[in-house]
Amino acid sequence: MSTGAVVMLVVAIVIIWGGLAASALWLRAHPDPEDAARRQAR
């Protein structure tokens, strides 16, 4: 693979996994009120 392809691969991986991590951290800090109510009902 060329250098440009490797750089694009790394950028794509960072964007995908970074977005996943950011969304998980956001949901931990700001839980969905509907989901919290469902958990307490159990």
The residues, ordered by sequence, that sit 6+ positions from 9 with a Cβ below 8 Å of its Cβ are 1
Q: What integer pLDDT is reported at residue 42 of this predicted model?
A: 67
- On whether residue 37 sits in a domain, the answer given is no
- On whether residue 9 sits in a domain, the answer given is yes
- On whether residue 42 sits in a domain, the answer given is no
Q: What integer pLDDT is reported at residue 35 of this predicted model?
A: 72
Matching residue, tokens 């440009």: 4
Q: What integer pLDDT is reported at residue 7 of this predicted model?
A: 98
Q: What integer pLDDT is reported at residue 41 of this predicted model?
A: 73
Written as tens digits, the pLDDT of the chain (42 aa) is: 999 999 999 999 999 999 999 999 999 998 888 776 777 776
- On whether residue 35 sits in a domain, the answer given is no
Tell me the one-letter amino acid at 25: L
Please state, in angstroms and rounded to a whole number, the distance separating the CA atoms of residues 40 and 19: 29
Split into its structural domains, the chain has a count of 1
Q: What is the rounded radius of gyration, in angstroms, for the C-alpha atoms of the chain?
A: 17
- On whether residue 36 sits in a domain, the answer given is no
Q: What is the pTM of this model?
A: 0.63
- On whether residue 11 sits in a domain, the answer given is yes
Domain range spanning residue 16? 1-29
- On whether residue 40 sits in a domain, the answer given is no
- On whether residue 7 sits in a domain, the answer given is yes
